[in-house]
C-alpha cells in the first residue's frame, strides 16, 4: 500500500485523492480551510460534482481516506506528496504560483524521509525545478527527495470517470525511483491498458498547457466556422459531424456555441501565451482562439437584439448560468459577460440554473433568480438557452410561450430546431446554422 499525501481539496486534489484511495492506497487530504476539512470528514463536498460524495464516504468508511488541516500530519510516513493547490490567473494573465511555492516551502520544512513530491496543479514550465529548489532550501536535515510532474486531465462534471478511465497518464520525472512509485500508484489502470507516458519534467508541464490550449483552439475554430456558416448559408453541426468522422480530427470539442469557460481553458490559454512570450516566442494561434472566444457573449446578445427588435429596457431570461452542465462553477462563464451586456442595455434579467445560483450571486446579486426555466420566461421579451443541462433539453414551449411577452428564443447551445419552436409561434436563432435562423418578428 502506498501512502499518499494530497495537498489541496479543490476539484483536482479531492477527486484525485478519493480516486487514489479507491485504487487501494492510503490517502490523507490536507487543506488549510478548517470548515472544508470538517465538512469533508462528514462527507460534505464543497462543490457540485456527480458521484463524488459517495466515493468520498465509501473510502472514508473503508479507512483509506482521511482529511486534516495539518500538513505535518498528512505527510507523516508519506511515500508521495501531491501538490494540488490552485494556480489562478493573475491580473496580467500569467499563472499565480504563490500557493504552490508556499506549499513547497512547508513541505521542505517537514520532510523527514525520502518522498516524491509531485505537482498535479497546472504549472508553467520550470515551476517544478523552482519548487524543488524551495524545498531544498527549507530542508531541516539531509533528506533525499525527488520532484515529479503528473498533470491531471479530468473535466469538471465527469471527473471521476475521467480519473478512473483516462486516455493517458503523464509522468514527468528524472529518477527511476520516483517513476516506479508513480507507476505503482496508477497500476490499477494497467488493466484498462491506459498508456502511461514517461517524459522529462519540463515536457510533462508543457503537455498539460498544450492539451488545454489545443482544446480551446478546436472550440474557437468551430465557432469561427459557425460564423462563416451563417454567412454562407451552411450548417455548422453537419460540418462538425463530417469533420469529426475524419479520425485525424475527431468528433469531440467541435460543438459551436458560447465557447469555452471554466477554471482551466481560459486560464491555461492565457498562461501559455505568457510562457511563450517569456521564452521569446509567440502563440499566435492561441491568442486568436482567446479573441474569438471573447466575442461570443456579444454575438448571443446581438442575436437576441436582432430577433427582439432591440433589447434596451426589455426583460431577458437566461436559462442556465454554469460554464457547462453538471457543475456549479461559473468561473469565466459566458453568462457573466452576457449579464453585464444585458445590464448595460438597461435590461431586467431573469435567470435559472440547477446548481450555480449561489456562485453567480457573488457577481450579480441585482438580477432576478427564478425557481425554474418556466419562471425565467414569465413576462420576458426574449429567452436565451445558455447552458445545456439535460433538464433544459425537453422544454415545453407551449407553456413557455403562454407567459412570455414576446416569443423570442436564442439557443446558444444548438439544442433545438427552428421548425419545433416556430410551431409554438416563436422566432428562433442559434449558432452557425443558417437555415435555422427565423426572420425577426
Question: What phi, psi does 304 have (nearest 5°)?
Answer: -65, -40
By CB under 6 A, tell whether 13 contacts ligand UGA.
Answer: no
User: By C-beta, is 22 or 152 nearer to ligand UGA?
Assistant: 152
By CB under 6 A, tell whether 369 contacts ligand UGA.
Answer: no
> Of 224, 299, 290, 219, nearest to 259 (Cα)?
219
User: By C-beta, is 110 or 334 nearer to ligand UGA?
Assistant: 334
By CB under 6 A, tell whether 374 contacts ligand UGA.
Answer: no
Are the beta carbons of 112 and 71 closer than 8 angstroms?
A: no
Query: And the C-alpha cell for 18?
Result: 478519493
Question: What phi, psi does 96 have (nearest 5°)?
Answer: -90, 115
Among 36, 237, 314, 324, binds ligand UGA (CB under 6 A): 324
x/- map, 119-138, ligand UGA, by CB under 6 A: ---x----------------
Q: Give the Cβ contact number of residue 170 at 10 Å.
A: 21
x/- map, 190-219, ligand UGA, by CB under 6 A: ----------------------x--x---x
Among 23, 82, 260, 301, binds ligand UGA (CB under 6 A): 260
Residue nearest to ligand UGA (CB): 264
Strand ranges across the sheet with 26-30: 65-68, 26-30, 3-7, 80-83, 115-119, 145-149, 169-173, 196-199
| From 5, 19, 29, 264, the catalytic residue | 264
Among 56, 97, 125, 264, binds ligand UGA (CB under 6 A): 264
Query: And the C-alpha cell for 149?
Result: 510532474
From its phi and psi, is residue 298 left (phi > 0), alpha (psi between -120 and 50) or beta?
A: alpha
From the CA atom positions of the chain, what is the Rg in Å?
A: 24
Among 154, 169, 181, 370, binds ligand UGA (CB under 6 A): 154
Containing 58, the helix (H) or strand (E) segment is: helix 52-61
Distance CA 366, CA 348 (A): 9
User: By C-beta, is 15 or 115 nearer to ligand UGA?
Assistant: 15
> Of 217, 275, 277, nearest to 249 (Cα)?
217
User: By C-beta, is 95 or 408 nearer to ligand UGA?
Assistant: 95
Supply the minimum distance, in Å, between the C-beta of residue 232 and ligand UGA: 21
By CB under 6 A, tell whether 163 contacts ligand UGA.
Answer: no
User: By C-beta, is 283 or 400 nearer to ligand UGA?
Assistant: 283
By CB under 6 A, tell whether 383 contacts ligand UGA.
Answer: no
By CB under 6 A, tell whether 323 contacts ligand UGA.
Answer: yes
> Catalytic annotation on 264?
yes
Are the beta carbons of 262 and 303 closer than 8 angstroms?
A: no
- Helix %, strand %, coil % of the chain (to 5): 45, 15, 40
By CB under 6 A, tell whether 355 contacts ligand UGA.
Answer: no
Residue 65 is classified by DSSP as: E
x/- map, 239-258, ligand UGA, by CB under 6 A: --------------xxx-x-
Residue ranges in contact with ligand UGA by CB under 6 A: 122, 152-156, 212, 215, 219, 253-255, 257, 259-262, 264-265, 323-324
Catalytic residues: 264
Amino acid at each position: 500500500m502506498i501512502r499518499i499525501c494530497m495537498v489541496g481539496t479543490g476539484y483536482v486534489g479531492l477527486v484525485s485523492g478519493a480516486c487514489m484511495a479507491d485504487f487501494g492506497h492510503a490517502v490523507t487530504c490536507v487543506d488549510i480551510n478548517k470548515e472544508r476539512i470538517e465538512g469533508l470528514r462528514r462527507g460534505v463536498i464543497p462543490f457540485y460534482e456527480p458521484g463524488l460524495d459517495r466515493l468520498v464516504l465509501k473510502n472514508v468508511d473503508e479507512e483509506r481516506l482521511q482529511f486534516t488541516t495539518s500538513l505535518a500530519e498528512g505527510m507523516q510516513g508519506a511515500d508521495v506528496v501531491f501538490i494540488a493547490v490552485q494556480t489562478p490567473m493573475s491580473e496580467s494573465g500569467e499563472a499565480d504560483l504563490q500557493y504552490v511555492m508556499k506549499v513547497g516551502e512547508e513541505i521542505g520544512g517537514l520532510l523527514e524521509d525520502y518522498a516524491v513530491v509531485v505537482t498535479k496543479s497546472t504549472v508553467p514550465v520550470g515551476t517544478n525545478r523552482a519548487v524543488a529548489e524551495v524545498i531544498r532550501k527549507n530542508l531541516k536535515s539531509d533528506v533525499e527527495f525527488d520532484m515529479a510532474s503528473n498533470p491531471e486531465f479530468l473535466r469538471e462534471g465527469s471527473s471521476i470517470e475521467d480519473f478512473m478511465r483516462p486516455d493517458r497518464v503523464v509522468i514527468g520525472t528524472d529518477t527511476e525511483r520516483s517513476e516506479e512509485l508513480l507507476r505503482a500508484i496508477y497500476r490499477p489502470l494497467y488493466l484498462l491498458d491506459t498508456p502511461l507516458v514517461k517524459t522529462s519534467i519540463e515536457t510533462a508541464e508543457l503537455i498539460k498547457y498544450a492539451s488545454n490550449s489545443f482544446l480551446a483552439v478546436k472550440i474557437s475554430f468551430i465557432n469561427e466556422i459557425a460564423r462563416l456558416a451563417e454567412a454562407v448559408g451552411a450548417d455548422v453541426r453537419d460540418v462538425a459531424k463530417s469533420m469529426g468522422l475524419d479520425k485525424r480530427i475527431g468528433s469531440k470539442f467541435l460543438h459551436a456555441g458560447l465557447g469555452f469557460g471554466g477554471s482551466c481553458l481560459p486560464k491555461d490559454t492565457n498562461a501559455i501565451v505568457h510562457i511563450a512570450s517569456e521564452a521569446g516566442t509567440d502563440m499566435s494561434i492561441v491568442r486568436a482562439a482567446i479573441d474569438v472566444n471573447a466575442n461570443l457573449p456579444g454575438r448571443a446578445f446581438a442575436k437576441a437584439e436582432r430577433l427582439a427588435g432591440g433589447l434596451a429596457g426589455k426583460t431577458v431570461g437566461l436559462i442556465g448560468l454554469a460554464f457547462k452542465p453538471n457543475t456549479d462553477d461559473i468561473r469565466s462563464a459566458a453568462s457573466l459577460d452576457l449579464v453585464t451586456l444585458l445590464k448595460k442595455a438597461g435590461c431586467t434579467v431573469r435567470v435559472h440554473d440547477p446548481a450555480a445560483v449561489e456562485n453567480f450571486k457573488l457577481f450579480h446579486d441585482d438580477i432576478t433568480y427564478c425557481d425554474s426555466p418556466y419562471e425565467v420566461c414569465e413576462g420576458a421579451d426574449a429567452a436565451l438557452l445558455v447552458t445545456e443541462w439535460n433538464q433544459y433539453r425537453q422544454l415545453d414551449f407551449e407553456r413557455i410561450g403562454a407567459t412570455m411577452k414576446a416569443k423570442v428564443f436564442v439557443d446558444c447551445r444548438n439544442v433545438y430546431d427552428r421548425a419545433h419552436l416556430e410551431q409554438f409561434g416563436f422566432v428562433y436563432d442559434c449558432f452557425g446554422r443558417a437555415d435555422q435562423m427565423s426572420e425577426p418578428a
